[in-house]
Amino acid sequence: MSTPDVGIDQLGIYIPRHALPLDRLAAARGVPPEKISIGLGALAMAVPAPWEDTVTLGANAAARALRAGGIAPDEIGLLVVGTETAVDHAKPASIFLHELLGLTSRCRTFELKHACYGGTAGVMMAVDWVRSGAARGRKALVVATDIARYDLGSSAEFTQGAGAAALVIGAAPRLLTLDAGTGVYASNVWDFWRPLDRREALVDGKFSVDCYLDALAGALADYRGDAAPVVDRMAALLYHTPFPKMAQKAHRRLVERERPDLDGDAQTALFERSYAELVEPWLWLARQAGNTYTASLYLGLAWLAEQRGAALEGHDVGLFSYGSGCQGEFFSGRFAAGSGAHAGRIGAAALLDDRVLLDVAQYEDFVREGARGGTPSVDDGALCHLTGVRDHKRHYGRQEAIA
């Protein structure tokens, strides 16, 4: 029996409406702005309001995916949420989304964690669920949602961000068919972690970059086998992007691993040309939203799909996912015939156009109010929002039905 085509049927994303231009933060912290705009490659970061959290970001992304794909809630038989900024140590974020999205009781739902890899872990599990036949004609909904949060005034403050991506996984996908073979790499390292009693993460920055690059090399070797170099056969290459400059470092390592036969000048020329064509154009959301942890890779996919549209149909894309701790996976897919129409419904550019830019004082007020658990009146037009926390129980609301 042949294996059915399985992949991403529709993609939806969401980023907070509020953002802080990083040149404003650099001026306030006495940091040269080029250290951020050039050194990190970042221009702004999304700032969640006190009434936004991992659940609301994920629910808004999922609602956009279902609406864009014309998918009814009762078509979803599996809901997986990948996050490293969960709202509860026991109750999964997925069950809150299950209610907000109006999914049926005949739906398996749970939360996954492996740092920034959690969303991809959910995608791979959902793909296997559909391929196995257990889906019985239904689709899976995978949501990657996170808030990257560090201490005010810390060196990591510039690599904050927030956002979510929702992927509807099904047979005969209308957006991107995923290839069955992937390459993986795992190793126990302490490059990034967040103890249970901390709201902010801890990171060994330089070591984490090294771990990322080692995982990329290992996953790529496991994926490729004897196949032709991916740099020669992909229309685009997408990397997990904790900060945009990381994608450039990753692509350089990929070229070095894939084309060791080239001398230094030829290898550099291949890197510069392929980075400009295959990688750099799809980093715009990362430059504007900051680090979105599990959602990062899929925000890149959203921008690629929306910007290229029908021109991508029939073309291959390579994707590398990394989660500290660590796990890496390299996988690939092909844009389906007619995928341009579905890509055009993602609405990523419209989300950026609708943003409100904060000054540093307003940003710091949001951070402090959020840490206290405050929930001011919702005024951003988002579909789902946090309404309050009472007796340690989180309560959410939505403005209207999803479908």
Number of other CB atoms surrounding residue 146 within 10 Å:
28
Closest among 129, 137, 49, 132 to 373, alpha carbons compared: 49
Q: At what angle do helices 244-258 and 264-274 cross, to 10 degrees?
A: 130
pLDDT at 336: 97
Please list, in sequence order, all residues whose beta carbon lies within 8 angstroms of the beta carbon of residue 46, skipping any fewer than 6 positions away.
15, 16, 18, 19, 161, 162, 163, 288, 289, 290, 292
HEC states along the chain? CCCCCEEEEEEEEECCCEEEEHHHHHHHHCCCHHHHHCCCCCCEEECCCCCCCHHHHHHHHHHHHHHHHCCCHHHEEEEEEECCCCCCCCCCHHHHHHHHCCCCCCCEEEEECECECHHHHHHHHHHHHHHHCCCCCCEEEEEEEEEECCCCCCHHHHHCEEEEEEEEEEECCCCEEECCCCEEEECCCCCEECCCCCCCCEECHHHHHHHHHHHHHHHHHHHHCCCCCHHHCCCEEEECCCCHHHHHHHHHHHHHHHCCCCCHHHHHHHHHHHHHHHHHHHHHHHHHHECCHHHHHHHHHHHHHHHHHHHHCCCEEEEEEEECCCEEEEEEEEECCCHHHHHCCCCHHHHHHCCEECCHHHHHHHHHHHHHCCCCCCCCCCCEEEEEEECCEEEEEECCCCC
Rounded-to-integer distance, Cα 210 and Cα 217, Å = 11
Which residues are known to be catalytic? 84, 116, 240
pLDDT at 155: 87
Rounded-to-integer distance, Cα 24 and Cα 357, Å = 10
pLDDT at 378: 62
Q: Please say whether the dihedral angle defined by the alpha carbons of residues 127, 129, 134 and 140, taken in this order, is positive or negative.
A: negative
Q: What does the pLDDT look like over 202-253, one tens digit per residue?
A: 889 899 999 999 999 999 999 976 678 999 999 999 999 999 999 999 999 9
Alpha-carbon distances of 218 from 20, 36, 84, 171, rounded to whole Å: 36, 30, 23, 30
Give the length of the chain.
403
Closest among 380, 379, 378 to 396, alpha carbons compared: 378
Rounded-to-integer distance, Cα 103 and Cα 52, Å = 21
pLDDT at 375: 61
Radius of gyration for the chain, computed over Cα atoms and rounded to the nearest angstrom: 20
Residues (pLDDT < 70) of the chain are 1-2, 225-226, 371, 373-380, 401-403
